[in-house]
Amino acid sequence: MKRLFLRVSCLLAVCAGAGQSQTLSPHWGELTANDFVKALAQSGGTCALPFGIVEKHGPSGPLATDLIDVRYATELATKQSYTIIFPEYYFGQIFEARHQPGTIAYSTKLQLELLQETVSEMARNGCKKVIIISGHGGNTNLIQFFAQTQLDTPKDYLVYAITGGGGGNGAAPNPAAAPSKPGVDGHAGEGEISNVMASRPELAHPERAGEESGKDQKRLDLPQGVYTGIWWYASFPNHYQGDAAGANAARGKAMAEAKANQIAAAIRAIKSDTMGPRLQKEFFEAAGHPTDTKQ
């Protein structure tokens, strides 16, 4: 009898859990305070911070292209593996587009301070695994540097970052996600504008793609391995790389699904990661008295 009772409760618990996953929004700002607590339990203490930017996206894309695209892929991913999505965040590195209308470029100091305070506030609210999902190539170094700075003082949370592409789920690439021809992808090119068309087609203007050049102007002549911050402006002064003329919603949908699969695989792996938190705790303890570390 007791066994039967347990089984019934278990079934009910599963049903309640399944119901929850259908009704709880993944969006932080759409949850009530009470539902936020339930959402945290459902997300296993993970929260996503899709990191966009506001910058020119050639002649075809809206200023928030990267923010729209990364939030859409993240939202799709939460249907596979639930997590809480932090509100719109676009306070990143974009100095190289300051000469273009509509760009919002915060100071270096503020970028780091705001990211730290945002992550700290997420953690204080129970997000013990913060997943930063980069939607903008110009933020890659910032995000990786920020993740490294997490080791400066003890933390009770872990920052994970998804900054690269990568298939992630091992599935064969969908031919619908392939570019129409070589050289069309790049900043504000066919891929990015197709992605916008997957979720917000009314904001994309591929018919304007030819109004500016997205070709590499190759104005710098430096040997390989020499880096300078002006390299991007030297190559792509229109803040446009590639050609968005062939952008279409079908390609955007296929790309967004592939990205969502990659993000979902990462969320699943991060949820089950016990080694990262354990090693970080061990590291902070050892860093407090390095002379005791075995040599």
Chain residues binding Zn ion by CB under 5 A are 65-66, 192
CA distance 88 to 288: 36
198: exposed, middle or buried (Cβ count in 10 Å: 0-12, 13-18, 19+): buried
Nearer to Zn ion, 81 or 163 (CB): 163
| Neighbouring residues of 109: CB distance < 8 A, sequence distance ≥ 6 | none
Least separation in angstroms between residue 81's CB and Zn ion is 25
Q: Compare residues 96 and 192 and give the one whose CB is closer to Zn ion.
A: 192
Contacting residues for 243 by C-beta, under 8 A, at least 6 apart: 183, 184, 189, 190, 209, 210, 214
Closest residue to bound Zn ion by CB: 66
CB of 110 to Zn ion, least distance (A): 21
HSE (CB half, 13 Å, CA atoms) of 150? 26
Least spacing, CB of residue 218 vs Zn ion, in Å: 21
Quote the tokens at residue 198. Answer: 């997957």
Which of 246, 223, 220 has its CA nearest to residue 233?
Answer: 220
Confirm if 49 and 119 have CB atoms less than 8 A apart: yes
d(CA 87, CA 30): 9
Closest separation in Å from C-beta 66 to Zn ion: 4
**Residues 46/270, Cβ–Cβ less than 8 Å:** yes
Helix, strand, coil shares, percent, the chain, to 5 = 50, 10, 40
Min dist CB 80 to Zn ion, Å, is 24
Of 66 and 257, which CB lies nearer to Zn ion in the complex structure?
66
CB 168 within 8 A of CB 141: no
| CA-wise closest residue to 66 among 246, 239, 243 | 239
Nearest distance from C-beta of residue 53 to Zn ion, angstroms:
7
Q: Are 53 and 138 in contact (CB under 8 A)?
A: yes
Of 215 and 268, CB closest to Zn ion:
215
* CB 153, min distance to Zn ion, A: 33
Residue closer to Zn ion by CB (options 66, 75) is 66
Q: How far is CA 166 from CA 79, 93, 173, 246, 263, in A?
A: 20, 22, 10, 23, 10
The nearest distance, CB 136 to Zn ion, in angstroms, is 6
Of the two residues 62 and 168, which places its CB atom closer to Zn ion in the complex? 62
Nearer to Zn ion (CB atom), residue 127 or residue 193 = 193
Between 60 and 118, whose beta carbon lies closer to Zn ion?
60
